[in-house]
Structure 1
Amino acid sequence: MVASSLRSFIKDVRGAKTLADERSIITKQSAKIRTKLRDDHLSNEKKRVNIQKLLYLYILGEKTHFGQVESINLIASDNFVDKRLGYLATILLLDESQDLLTLLTNMLNNDLQHPNKYIVALALNTLGCLSSTELARDLYPDVENILQTSNDPYLLRKALQCNAKLIFKDRSLLEIFPLSIISSKLLENPIVCTHGVLLGVCKVLQAIFISLDNTLQKENGKGDTEDESTEQDLQQDITIIRTISDLIPQLSTRLSSLNSKNLEPAYDVQGIQDPFLQCELIVTLKWFFKIGNHLNLDEITQYNNNFNDLLTQLATNTSAAKNPGNAILYEVTKSIFELKLTQPLRVLGINILANFLTPSKNSNTGNNVKYVGLNTLIKVVPEEPASVQRYRKFISQCLYDYDISIKFRALGLTFAIMNEQNLTELTTELVKFLGEISKSHYSYVTSYIDMDDSKDLIVYTVDNLLKKFEIYSNGDEKAKLDTLLTILKISGTFIDLEKTNEFLIALNNMDDMKYKIATFSKELTQILDPKIKANTLIGNASLDLVMIWCIGEYTDLIKLDSSTDKKIVNDNSIVKYLSDLNDKYRLSHDTRMVHYILTAALKLSSKITNGQCVENLRQIIVSHSKDANLMLQTKSVQYELLFNQPDAVKKLFLQAMPKFEKKLINATSVQRHNTTISKAQNQNNDLLLDLLTDTVEKTSPSEVLKPVETKQRDIIADLLASTGNKSQHTGETSTSIPIEVVTLPSDAVSIHDGVELQVYEKTIDISPGLAHLELYIQPKNSKISDIQPLCAVPKTQKLTLSQLRPSNNLDVGKFVKQTLKITGSGKLKLRIKLSFQKDENPASESEQFDYKLDKTI
Structure 2
Amino acid sequence: MSLKLRDLIRKVRACKTAAEERAVIAKESAMIRTAIREEQSHFRHRNVAKLLFMHMLGYPTHFGQLECMKLIASPHFPEKRIGYLGMMLLLSEEADVLMLSTNALKNDLTSSNRFVSGLALCAIGNLATADMSRDLAPEVDKHLKSSQPYLRKKACLAMARCLTKCPEMVEDFVDRVVTLLKDRSHGVLISVIQLMTQVLIVEQKSVLENPDYEDDYGTPCQDAFVKLVPSLVKLMRNVTGGGYAANDAGGATDIFLQVHILALLRLLGAGNEQASEEMNDVLAQVATNTETSKNAGNAILYECVQTIMAVEADDGLRVLAVNILGRFLLNRDNNIRYVALNTLSKCVVDEKNRRAEDDLVATGDDDESANNAASALQKHRTTIVDCLKDPDVTIRQRALELIYHLVNSENVESLTAELLNYLVLCPRDHRGDICTRVLRVVEKYSPNDRWRVDTLITMLTIAGRETSRQVQSASIIYISRASEDLRAYATHKLIKAIRDDDGSQRGLLVVGVWCIGEYGDLLLSPYSNNEESFSAIDTNSILETLEEVIGRHTCTEDIKRVALTAFTKLSERFANSGDTATLGKLQELVKKNSKSQTLELQLRSCEYDALINAMKGIKVASAPASDDIFGATAGGDETLSEAVIAAAKEALARMPVVDLRVMNRQKSSAYADDDMIGGLDTKPAAPAQKKNDDLLDLEDIFGGGAPAAPQPAASSNDALTNGSAPAPAPASDMDLLSDIFSAPAATPAAPATGMSMNGGASYDPFGSMPSSQPQQPPSNPLDAFAPTPTPAPLPTTTAPAPAVDDIFGAPAPAPAPKQNPVVQGPSHEGLSIEFECTKPEALSRAKSTLIAKFKNSNSAAIHGLSLQVAVPKYVTLEMKPPSSTTVAPSGGNSSAQVTQSITVTNTKLGQKNLMLKVKLGFTLNGAKVEHMATVSGFPAGEY
CA offset at residue 275 of structure 1? 1.4
What secondary structure is seen at the aligned counterpart in 1 of 2:552? helix
Q: Name the structure 2 match of 1:204.
A: 195
Residues 1:656 and 2:654 are matched in the alignment: yes
Q: Name the structure 1 match of 2:627.
A: none
Residues 1:428 and 2:417 are matched in the alignment: yes
Distance 1:53 1:636 in 2: 76
Distance 2:334 2:496 in 1: 52
What secondary structure is seen at the aligned counterpart in 1 of 2:47? helix
Corresponding pairs, count: 675
Residues 1:48 and 2:48 are matched in the alignment: yes
CA offset at residue 159 of structure 1? 0.6
Alignment-mate amino acid for residue 157 of structure 1: K
1:396–1:410 contact (8 Å) kept in structure 2: yes
Q: Name the structure 2 match of 1:458.
A: 431
Residue among 377, 383, 386 paired with 1:394: 383
Q: Name the structure 2 match of 1:156.
A: 152
Q: Name the structure 2 match of 1:140.
A: 137
CA offset at residue 63 of structure 1? 5.9
Q: Name the structure 2 match of 1:751.
A: none
Deviations 1:509-562 (A, max 9, x none): 3x233033124325535766xxxxxx2444333222222111111101221455
Alignment-mate amino acid for residue 366 of structure 1: I
Range moving further from structure 2, 478-487 or 167-176: 167-176
Residue among 588, 608, 617 paired with 2:574: 608
CA offset at residue 202 of structure 1? 0.8
Deviations 1:227-255 (A, max 9, x none): xxx54622xx54x6666566433322221
Q: Name the structure 1 match of 2:258.
A: 278
Q: Name the structure 1 match of 2:721.
A: none
Residues 1:811 and 2:918 are matched in the alignment: yes
Alignment-mate amino acid for residue 638 of structure 1: E
Deviations 1:744-769 (A, max 9, x none): 699xxxxxxxxxxxxx99998xxxxx
CA offset at residue 218 of structure 1? 7.0
Q: Name the structure 2 match of 1:573.
A: 541
Distance 1:712 1:519 in 2: 29
Distance 1:94 1:490, change over 3 A: same
Distance 1:541 1:373, change over 3 A: same
Structure 2 matches for 1:208-357, cutoff 5 A?
Answer: 208-214=199-205, 217=208, 221-222=211-212, 231=215, 233-234=217-218, 237-238=219-220, 247-261=228-242, 267-290=247-270, 293=273, 301=274, 305-357=277-329
Structure 2 matches for 1:502-581, cutoff 5 A?
Answer: 502-509=474-481, 511-524=482-495, 535-563=500-528, 569-581=537-549
Structure 2 matches for 1:350-369, cutoff 5 A?
Answer: 350-359=322-331, 361=332, 363=333, 365-369=335-339
Distance 2:826 2:312 in 1: 38
Distance 1:22 1:645 in 2: 86
Q: Name the structure 2 match of 1:75.
A: 72
What secondary structure is seen at the aligned counterpart in 1 of 2:566? helix
Distance 2:502 2:225 in 1: 72
Distance 1:74 1:489 in 2: 73
Larger Rg computed on CA atoms: 2
Structure 2 matches for 1:437-516, cutoff 5 A?
Answer: 437=425, 454-472=427-445, 475-496=447-468, 499-509=471-481, 511-516=482-487
Distance 2:118 2:465 in 1: 63
Q: Name the structure 1 match of 2:115.
A: 118
Distance 1:287 1:48, change over 3 A: same
Distance 2:504 2:290 in 1: 54
Alignment-mate amino acid for residue 485 of structure 2: K
Deviations 1:57-93 (A, max 9, x none): 5xx4x76555544444443344545444443443344
1:157–1:196 contact (8 Å) kept in structure 2: yes
CA offset at residue 415 of structure 1? 1.5
1:179–1:244 contact (8 Å) kept in structure 2: no
Alignment-mate amino acid for residue 460 of structure 1: D
Distance 1:538 1:304, change over 3 A: closer
1:323–1:365 contact (8 Å) kept in structure 2: no
CA offset at residue 398 of structure 1? 1.8
Structure 2 matches for 1:72-111, cutoff 5 A?
Answer: 72-111=69-108
CA offset at residue 136 of structure 1? 0.7
Alignment-mate amino acid for residue 636 of structure 1: S
Residue among 403, 421, 424 paired with 2:392: 403
What secondary structure is seen at the aligned counterpart in 2 of 1:420? coil
What secondary structure is seen at the aligned counterpart in 2 of 1:646? helix
Distance 1:621 1:64 in 2: 76
Residue among 552, 555, 559 paired with 1:584: 552
Structure 2 matches for 1:765-780, cutoff 5 A?
Answer: 780=866
Distance 1:286 1:496, change over 3 A: closer
What secondary structure is seen at the aligned counterpart in 2 of 1:428? helix
Distance 1:631 1:344, change over 3 A: same
Segments of 5+ residues of structure 1 without an aligned counterpart are 294-300, 438-452, 529-534, 674-705, 722-735, 747-759, 765-773, 785-808, 819-829, 841-857
Deviations 1:33-79 (A, max 9, x none): 8855853435224422442244225xx4x765555444444433445
Residues 1:632 and 2:601 are matched in the alignment: yes
Report sequence identity in percent. 27
What secondary structure is seen at the aligned counterpart in 1 of 2:322? helix
CA offset at residue 199 of structure 1? 0.9
What secondary structure is seen at the aligned counterpart in 2 of 1:102? helix
Residues 1:646 and 2:615 are matched in the alignment: yes
CA offset at residue 262 of structure 1? 6.5
2:520–2:570 contact (8 Å) kept in structure 1: yes
Alignment-mate amino acid for residue 375 of structure 2: A
Range moving further from structure 2, 271-280 or 365-374: 365-374
Alignment-mate amino acid for residue 524 of structure 1: I
Alignment-mate amino acid for residue 103 of structure 2: N
2:866–2:921 contact (8 Å) kept in structure 1: no
Distance 1:741 1:118, change over 3 A: same
1:199–1:277 contact (8 Å) kept in structure 2: yes
CA offset at residue 775 of structure 1? 11
Distance 2:506 2:679 in 1: 29
Residues 1:376 and 2:346 are matched in the alignment: yes
Alignment-mate amino acid for residue 811 of structure 1: V
Distance 2:35 2:349 in 1: 53
Distance 2:276 2:605 in 1: 76
Range moving further from structure 2, 414-423 or 737-746: 737-746
CA offset at residue 743 of structure 1? 7.8
Distance 1:553 1:81, change over 3 A: farther
What secondary structure is seen at the aligned counterpart in 2 of 1:811? strand
Distance 1:315 1:658, change over 3 A: same
1:488–1:543 contact (8 Å) kept in structure 2: yes
Structure 2 matches for 1:691-840, cutoff 5 A?
Answer: 708=733, 710=735, 713-714=738-739, 716=741, 741=827, 780=866, 782=868, 811-813=918-920
Distance 2:565 2:62 in 1: 67
CA offset at residue 270 of structure 1? 1.2
CA offset at residue 98 of structure 1? 4.3
Distance 1:811 1:101 in 2: 48
CA offset at residue 717 of structure 1? 7.5
Deviations 1:793-825 (A, max 9, x none): xxxxxxxxxxxxxxxx9834477999xxxxxxx
Distance 1:454 1:621 in 2: 39
What secondary structure is seen at the aligned counterpart in 2 of 1:399? helix
1:517–1:558 contact (8 Å) kept in structure 2: yes
Distance 1:498 1:616, change over 3 A: farther
What secondary structure is seen at the aligned counterpart in 1 of 2:741? helix
Alpha-carbon RMSD: 4.4
